[in-house]
Amino acid sequence: MKRRLFIYIAISLLVAFCVLFAACGGNGFNQVDRRITVTVMDGEHYSVVGDNKRVVERGETAVFNIVLERGYKVNGYYGDKCEISDELSFQQTVTFTSVNHKSTVRVLTTEMEKVEFKPQSGELIGEVNISSVLGAAEDCVYYADDILTVKAVPKEAHRFVCWSKNNYLNSGGEFVGYAETLEIKDIKSVGNLFANFKSLTDTGNTIIYQVDGGREIEQDVTQMLSNHPRANTYTAVDLRALGVDCDSRYLAGYTTENGEYVGLGSRVSVSNKKATVLTPVWKEYTDCNLFEINQGSVKLKQSDQYSLNEIVVPREINGEKVTAISKNAFENCSASVYYIPDSVTTVENDAFKDCENLIELYMSDNIMNINDEAFSGCKNFTTLHMNAYLKPRSPVDQASVKTDVYDRLALSMEDNEITRLVILGGSSVNYGYSISTAEKLCSEQLKDKKIQVYNLGFNATYAEFAQFEILNTYLKQGDIFLHAPEQFYSAWYGNTMQSPLTKTSSVKLTDGYYIFRFTECNWQFLSSLTVNKYGNLFSLFSAFNRNRLGSAECEYSDHYNFDPVPELLPIGEIAKPECGEDKYFHSGEYDFNMDASVELAKQNIYSATVAKGVRTFVTFPPLNRHRLQLTYDAEYKLQDAVGDYTARVKNILSDESINVLLTQYDTVYNGRHFSDNDYHLGSPFKNAHTERVITALISVMTSEDIR
């Protein structure tokens, strides 16, 4: 009995020892070795990069870098059993997973299928260049894993239209794409590739819209260009009438051959020698299943749960037309870009609440109800892209006139032979400067420079600060900027208000929504505004849209345009004679108290021009002496007041990069020189004021050149 018990205990201890020994990897009780080696041997059509031996923990992964010969892929391995994963590439990673024992293996390679590939193009009208990302062709034969870049190169007097496969498009070929450069990752699926070209004969002053499936629409803009320096593109309604499907996908606008974005209804530079080709920017609608809809009002389901970079709101969900963006529709959503279809006419407050990633918004000009509260907490919202649903409805006035001046400014951006002098201010600039006089003086006294002058004076209600934001888009180093800030505070900056977007002080645009009457002729200008700097931009837009509902639609070419000669006179000021008697037009006292406005101008306007290398000048507006006499009953009192004010302005603008021209007293004129307002100089006295200011400017420039 004792003997059997002893044997039993001995066997138990032996079994326990074996188990413990195995658990320790057979290396003793004090060390557990779980390391395993895997070796990949060099083989046919591949080689191992670096050390071909890897030591890994049991059950882990061994990774090897290898180089494959062109035209081969990893198909597996032979040797010890391992699990392998691979990716097709010349330089590739081979991974052995779940390694549980020492292994020595070779990688198995298989030759890729060979494909004959030679794009076709008409010999007389163009050619195709091919560059290979992976490998190179041998007699136009490639391997199936080769990645090619093909580029269409039209010959003189021809243009590239599109790519098609199996045949030329006009012979039944299947449309592939519009881009001149095409990357092909699957040669076999392309089959025969054809580059389609077309003659440029008789296509000057023509906009060509590449629509879909290789179809093109031509727009003759000759009549429009007789009235404007640039031509407006088709609106959404125009395109629908021409059979363009804007319902199944979102049309965000177009891009030019140079990559410039152009919104629907916005203006584009058109050549009189060849066609201007525009490619549509299509956006696929976001999955309808992510939305819920109630009586046309749409909302994203659990908006803060989706990781989306952009959201394209569908026009229709479950057969129901989307007409509104509901309250909290995208609250806390992560997307940075949103597209709202033109079926939407209402955007509820808090629709985009706390969308801190929101940067860009695309919408149409037919939204009737929208408020800045819709974007509460969207502190990084900077860019608004407006697409025209309809043509303009605003009356012809100085807004549409100034649009053309901005168009000329935009057109001159690439002309390095000219120096551009831009004058900005309120109505004192609009009515107080003669362009022909300014250009004549510059031509006579700055003989080494060709000067073009642009009068961008707007009436006070046009919110000059917003105008400057647009202007700044087109200013460049070497330009000359002349600013004449008026005493009326809101003329250049606007009142301030608490911004719903940033919850901080922001610009409140003046009532009357004149900024939209100006941009309606070219909505592209609106994208120059920094949205979160304004507190009531969308509220004014909504009021603007409702106001124009009853107005008749205009053709873009109907809008008034200045005669293209240098003298660009404002509407209604063509034949205003100098008044025969001294008088003032506005009663009430007058006070020189504009220090805060000048300081704001320095921070928000002059800092931007100086940073661009634009020579910056500040001058004073013309003032009616007879109105000033209501406040200052003696000449010496007036002189003291304007002297003190001039000194304060020069002190604020003491930076040597900002030149203050003349004094305020130099621009105080008798009442007979004003036409219908105490800021509106009449002709011909505007010529004398122009000569006084421009002569002072030239004097400073000449002395700078001498230094």
Distances (CA, A) of 102 to 35, 40, 94, 487, 697: 9, 11, 17, 87, 86
> Rounded to the nearest 5 degrees, what angle is found at the Cα of 523, between the Cα atoms of 519 and 528?
85
What are residue 333's DSSP bridge partners? none
What is the chain's percent helix, strand, coil content, to nearest 5?
25, 30, 45
Q: What tokens were used for 110? A: 């298989």
pLDDT at residue number 487: 64
Determine the straight-line distance between the first and last CA of the chain, rounded to whole angstroms.
121
pLDDT at residue number 219: 94
> Rounded to the nearest 5 degrees, what angle is found at the Cα of 541, between the Cα atoms of 558 and 515?
60
DSSP state of 173: P
> Rounded to the nearest 5 degrees, what angle is found at the Cα of 214, between the Cα atoms of 199 and 310?
125
Distances (CA, A) of 508 to 166, 491, 669: 59, 12, 32
Backbone angles phi and psi of 256, in degrees to 5: -85, 175
Residues whose CB falls within 8 Å of the CB of residue 302, separated by 6 or more in sequence, listed in order: none
Q: How far apart are CA 76 and CA 685, in angstroms?
A: 90
Q: How far apart are CA 232 and CA 582, in angstroms?
A: 46
pLDDT at residue number 15: 47
pTM equals 0.80
What secondary structure does DSSP assign to 615-678, as a single string? Answer: EEEE----EEHHHHTTT--SHHHHHHHHHHHHHHHHHHT-STTEEEPS-GGGGEE-GGGEEEET
At 263 the three-state DSSP class reads coil
Chunked mean pLDDT (size 10), the chain, 707 residues: 50 49 44 77 88 88 86 79 57 80 87 87 83 77 86 87 90 89 87 87 83 90 88 96 93 93 95 87 94 96 79 96 97 96 97 97 96 97 96 77 88 92 90 91 90 86 82 95 75 72 89 82 94 94 89 78 41 52 82 80 91 95 91 92 93 89 94 86 87 96 72
Per the omega criterion (within 30 degrees of 0), is the bond before 314 cis? no
CA neighbours closer than 13 Å in the CB half-sphere of residue 144: 10
Q: What tokens were used for 306? A: 């989706």
Q: How far apart are CA 18 and CA 12, in angstroms?
A: 10
Q: How far apart are CA 550 and CA 688, in angstroms?
A: 44
Q: What tokens were used for 513? A: 């929504």
pLDDT at residue number 559: 64
Distances (CA, A) of 83 to 80, 266, 486, 652: 10, 59, 79, 75
DSSP state of 584: -
Max CA pair span of the chain: 144
Question: For residues 107 and 46, is the Cβ–Cβ distance under 8 A?
Answer: yes
Distances (CA, A) of 264 to 207, 220, 269, 658: 13, 16, 14, 39
What are residue 623's DSSP bridge partners? 668
- Selection from 514, 376, 401 nearest residue 456 by Cα: 401
Distances (CA, A) of 212 to 175, 216, 249, 251, 282: 9, 8, 11, 12, 10
E strand or H helix at 689, and its extent?
helix 685-706
pLDDT at residue number 474: 95
Question: For residues 659 and 702, is the Cβ–Cβ distance under 8 A?
Answer: no
Angle between helix 398-411 and 464-472 (nearest 10): 20
Q: How far apart are CA 562 and CA 569, in angstroms?
A: 7
Q: How far apart are CA 85 and CA 81, in angstroms?
A: 13
pLDDT at residue number 28: 43
Angle between helix 685-706 and 435-445 (nearest 10): 30
Q: Tokens 């590449």 label which residue?
A: 210
Distances (CA, A) of 2 to 7, 8, 15: 9, 10, 20
DSSP state of 395: P
Q: How far apart are CA 410 and CA 405, in angstroms?
A: 9
pLDDT at residue number 61: 87
Q: What tokens were used for 596? A: 């805060």
pLDDT at residue number 694: 97
Question: For residues 660 and 601, is the Cβ–Cβ distance under 8 A?
Answer: no
pLDDT at residue number 218: 92
Q: Which amino acid is at 21?
A: F
